[in-house]
Every structure is written in C-alpha cells, then in structure tokens.
Structure 1
Amino acid sequence: MRNSTQVSFFVLEAFLDVGLLKYLLFAVIMCFYVLTLCCNVLLILVICVNRTLHEPMYLFLCSLFVNELYGSSGLFPLILVHILSDSHTVSAPLCFLQIFCLYMYVNVEFYSLALMSYDRYLAICRPLQYRSLMRSSRVALLLAVSWLVPVVVIVVMVSLTMSLQLCENVIDTLYCNNYSVVNLACSDTTVNNVYGLVYTYLVLVSLALLIIFSYLKILRVCFSGSQQTRQKAVSTCGPHLASLLNFSFGCFFEIAQSRVKMSGMPAVVRIIMSIYFVTCQPLLNPVLYGLNLAKIRVICRNLLLHRL
C-alpha cells in the first residue's frame, strides 16, 4: 500500500507546454468566455424584463441560462490562468471548490433539460390541461428542486471526498473532478462509490427516463397530428433535442476520459474535448434558443434596433 500523506495541492497534468501558442489559445478561450457571458446575460435580462415571457417554458430557459453563466464562471477563469502559467498546480480547497462547481453545473443542467422536456410534453400532448398542470406555484417548486437537490447532493459528495486520505496529488485532467481525486485515495472508498451509484441510478437515470418518455410521446403526437402540430413540435423541441444531444456527448466523453485509460488517444485531442465540454454547451444554448424561439428573437431584435 502507498504511504498516505496530507495533500495540500494538486497537479493538473493534462496541460501541455505549447510555447507561444498558449497566448493564441488563451485569446480564443477568452473570446468564448466573453461571448458566453454576453449571450447568457442578454437572454436572462430579456426574459426577466419582459412580462410576456413569464411563461413556464421561458422561466425554465432562464434557469438554464443562469446555470450556463454559473458553470462557465466557475470553470473558465482557472483554465485561463493555467494556460498562461508554467506551474499547473491548484490548492486543495480550490480543487474541491472546482469539483463542486463542475458537478453542480452538470446536475442543474440535467435537471433543467428534464424539466424542459416535461414542459414540452405537457404543452404538446396535453394542451388543454397545460395551464392547470403548470401553475406558477408548481413552476417555482420545480425550479427550486432543480437547484436545491443538486446543492445537497454535491455538498455531501465533496464532503465524503475531502475526508479521504490521499496518497498522490497528480490528476491527468484540465480541471479537478471527483472521480480523479477519489482514485488517488489510500483509504477505503466504498462509501463514496456506493453514494455515487445510488444517486446516479435513483435520480439521474429517472431523469433520463423522463426525458425519453417525454420525447417518445411528443414524436407520437407529431406523426399522428396535423401539419401545424408537427411544425410546432419541431420548432419548440428541435433546440431542446440539440442541446440534450450536445450535453450528453460532452458528458459521455468526460466520464470515459476519467474512468478509462485513453493511452491511445493523443493528449491534444483529450484537451480539445475537455475544452469543448466546458465551452460548447454554455455558448450553444443561447444561440439555439435565441435564434430558434420566435418570441426571444423578436424581442432581442427590437431591443438592438431601439438601441441603434
């Protein structure tokens, strides 16, 4: 057994020495970050200020944009610092804070996408009951659950990880993640593993089944309904499906990268995919919904024309 030591910092080994190219990489990622902030802040303000958008679908969208803003702000700055730095180390408290931000972002994103799919299912498949089923009080409760449950779950998870005795401090990733830190432990990790599996199968799998159920029902209505019904379903569900597929692809790669040794994959590809995971979803969602949802698109255009 390896000797147990008190770890005060972690080394992020995935960063490569690319010489002067690091300044170009920094500039590109900084542009992505600034663009992400501007797009998400703009859409949050548009939804909050305009009372015509105070409907369940747009309120769920607003929660999604807030999460994109939170997730990108929790992950981007440290990555930008490490790109320019020659020493890719992070203190233990900051590493655990980054784990909290990362998993909180992923969980709220998943909850939000599940709520949006359920909302579209009710709107398309049960339109006459939609108003009564999606009352303001129920929407507020669903939004509160989508944020509070992940907070409690992730706090417990990070607390369990912090209690472990670690033998090493080298992580082969661009940012701290829970599995990589747990994998460094000398002490028993049974509680951590059981907790993660129970939460995954009880909650996350249930949300995945809800999403699948909702879209199967929507597709059934699309194929059996009128041309107008099909057009409405495609226009409202298209961005949701694109966002869900993009998020699922990024999550799948991150899980595979942390749990499977990808020695055959070039380090540059792994870095690009990790950056893709933290940049594409927060930037893609505002573009998808801002350009595809007519109400938001019209209000944004009116605001810009009014300013000009």
Structure 2
Amino acid sequence: MQARDYNISVLLRLESLDIPQTGILPTLIMAVVSYCFILTCNLTILLAIALDHNLHKPMYILLFNLSINDLMGATAFFPQLINSIHLQHRNISYPACVFQALTVHLYCAGALTILTVMAYDRYVAICRPLHYHTIMTPSTLIKMIVGIWVTDLVLVGTLFLLLTPFSLCQTFISDVYCNNPSIMKLICDNTTVNNFYGLSLSVFLQGVSSIAVVFTYIQILKTCLHNKQSNTKSKAIRTCATHLVVFTVFQVTTIFTIMSHRFSQVSPYLRRSVGSSFLIFPPILNPLIYGLSTKEIRGKVMFLFNRNKINFKK
C-alpha cells in the first residue's frame, strides 16, 4: 500500500484541551462568541470596502486582503476546536489534519507578507507623499497582491508536498491543532529535507519581513521627527505604532511556536497557549485596529448600519 493511501485512512488524535467538566459549556460559548465576533468584524470590513468606491485605495485594498487572511486563519482553527469541545473527542482524520495545517501556514505566511506590504505603503505615503500616486498605481497594487498570494501558495504548498512520500508511524498530534511541526513528529523516516526547508522558509519569511518593516519604520520615524506639523506627525506615529505593535506580537508568537517544537524543554502548556494566540488575537484585533478605528471605514460602517436600521423599521 502506498504511503498516501495508508495515510488517508489514518485517524489521528489531537492533544487534550484539559478542560474540566464544569468549564466545557463556558469554553464552548466563549469559542463560538469569539468566532462569530471575528466573522462579523472582518466581514463588515470587507463589505464596507467593497461597497464604497472611495475606499478603493491601496491602504484599504491591502486591509481587505488582511481581513480575508484573518478569516482564513480563524476558520482553520475555531470550527475544529468548537467541534472538539462539543463532541468531547479529539479525533481528526489525516486529510483534515493536513488541510488544517496547510490553512494555518497559509494564514501565517500571508499575514507576514501583507503586513510587510502595508508597512511599505505607509512608508511611501509618509516619506514620499508627492510620489505616492505614481508609485502605488492600480497596476502596481495588483502585482503586489497577486505576488502576495502566489508566493504564499507556492512556498507553503511546497512545504506540504514534501510530506506526501512518507507514511505515519504515530497517531498522536502533540498540539491542540494540526501544523507542520506536529505532523512531522508522526513520521519515523528521515525528514532532513523537510526540516531544512521548513526552517529555511521560516527564516526567510520572518527575516525578510522583519528587515523590511524595521527599515521602513526607521525612515518613517526620521520623516516624522523632521515634520514641523504636529498634527501630521502625531497621526503618522499613532498609525505606524499600532501597525508595529501588531507586527511585533505576531512575529514573537509565531517564532516561539516554531521553535517550541524543536526544544523538548518548553512547557507544553506554554506552547499550546502561545501557539494558539496568533490564531485568536490578530483576527480579533486587526479589524478593530486597522478597520473600525479608521475614520473613513467607521463612517461607511455607520452609514450601512443606520440605513439597514431605517429599512428594518419600515
């Protein structure tokens, strides 16, 4: 029997959530509410940007893609988690596990690349405002967005294609959700190539994104310090500070998650909590920080809400 055919029929078991009996219902409710909140906020951002032609600008189009990416990450994590809590079992088929892991990694790589391009967009807007419309043209923006998703699919897709020749010799996933490092632990054959590619991919994505963001924000800080208009300076610093905080937190949590699987000394409880945080908090915070706090999007959301409210009363 080929490795692929054997793996399809394997039933895996995820690590226990360790929820006491009295905490099952509150945890289930919290998970459902969190997922619904993520869906509502991100879909609201998508709808507001899609329906308002005035928001069809580079910054908002990039935010549109960030919301799509956040929805993908949350949907990779929450439905399976909710199902596990509700049915009180941690079983998952191998194809479903691989699909969840693939989606999670697409989300991670997508978030890094989108946040990096957003930093570049802010750099051009603040440091080279007179050339913004000649640099961030519609055709350039389309190339950037296509580049983001194609790069994401190719790099992450290759990571999981490397798994296809192997058979599993274990069935216990040492994490609360499926990811490439936890799947690799189920293989007893030589996976040197997989490990090298996976580590190289992480170093490349996080290294390039970190260097790009640090460079752009140094330039932005220099420009802000030389700007004599206090209102413009404070607005730019406030906008960039929130972006930098989100990016830094995402980087730290993802790096910790990747490295925690390579060191057995790391507490499994710490690995699970930090490893889940980058799938929970960014999809919740991003639409609030980038979207609903932005005057133009907030105004469009309120307009849509008030119009629907009036129609409902009629």
Tell me which residue corresponds to 2:250.
247
Superposition map of 1:46-61 within 5 A:
46-61=48-63
**2:254–2:275: 8 Å Cα contact kept in structure 1?**
no
Matched, 1:198 2:200: yes
Tell me the distance in 2 between the aligned counterparts of 1:26 and 1:249.
28
Tell me the distance in 1 between the aligned counterparts of 2:152 and 2:192.
21
Moved more, 11-20 or 127-136: 11-20
Tell me the distance in 2 between the aligned counterparts of 1:244 and 1:299.
26
Tell me the distance in 2 between the aligned counterparts of 1:291 and 1:197.
36
Tell me the distance in 2 between the aligned counterparts of 1:155 and 1:73.
19
Matched, 1:222 2:224: yes
Tell me which residue corresponds to 2:285.
284
TM-superposition CA deviations, 1:250-297 (whole Å, max 9, x none): 31332243233356x473x55443443321110100111234311112
Structure 1 counterpart of 2:62, which letter? Answer: F
Runs of 4 or more off by more than 3 Å in structure 1? Answer: 200-204, 269-275
Shift of the 179–270 alpha-carbon distance from structure 1 to 2, 3 Å rule, reads closer
Shift of the 34–262 alpha-carbon distance from structure 1 to 2, 3 Å rule, reads farther
Shift of the 199–275 alpha-carbon distance from structure 1 to 2, 3 Å rule, reads closer
**2:12–2:172: 8 Å Cα contact kept in structure 1?**
yes
Tell me which residue corresponds to 1:151.
153
Q: What is the deviation of 1:203?
A: 4.0
Tell me which residue corresponds to 1:115.
117
**2:11–2:91: 8 Å Cα contact kept in structure 1?**
yes
Q: What is the deviation of 1:40?
A: 0.3
Tell me the distance in 2 between the aligned counterparts of 1:108 and 1:76.
18
TM-superposition CA deviations, 1:147-196 (whole Å, max 9, x none): 11111122211111232233212122110110121123221111112222
Tell me which residue corresponds to 1:94.
96
1:259 to 257, 262, 266: 262
TM-superposition CA deviations, 1:41-61 (whole Å, max 9, x none): 011010111011111000000
Percent of matched pairs sharing the same residue: 30
TM-superposition CA deviations, 1:212-266 (whole Å, max 9, x none): 1111111111122222331231243233123213322331332243233356x47
Tell me the distance in 2 between the aligned counterparts of 1:261 and 1:203.
24
Unmatched tracts of structure 2, length 5 or more: 1-5, 310-314
Tell me which residue corresponds to 2:213.
211
Q: What is the deviation of 1:206?
A: 1.6
Q: What is the deviation of 1:135?
A: 0.6
Structure 2 counterpart of 1:284, which letter? Answer: L
Superposition map of 1:34-45 within 5 A:
34-45=36-47
Alignment RMSD, CA only?
A: 2.0
Structure 1 counterpart of 2:296, which letter? Answer: K
Tell me the distance in 2 between the aligned counterparts of 1:14 and 1:210.
39
Structure 2 counterpart of 1:261, which letter? Answer: S
**1:14–1:271: 8 Å Cα contact kept in structure 2?**
no
Structure 2 counterpart of 1:106, which letter? Answer: C
Unmatched tracts of structure 1, length 5 or more: 1-5
Moved more, 211-220 or 246-255: 246-255
Moved more, 216-225 or 55-64: 216-225
Structure 2 counterpart of 1:50, which letter? Answer: D
Q: What is the deviation of 1:17?
A: 4.6
Structure 1 counterpart of 2:177, which letter? Answer: Y
Tell me the distance in 1 between the aligned counterparts of 2:30 and 2:274.
15
Tell me which residue corresponds to 1:3.
none
Tell me the distance in 2 between the aligned counterparts of 1:279 and 1:80.
13
**2:206–2:251: 8 Å Cα contact kept in structure 1?**
no
Tell me which residue corresponds to 1:238.
241
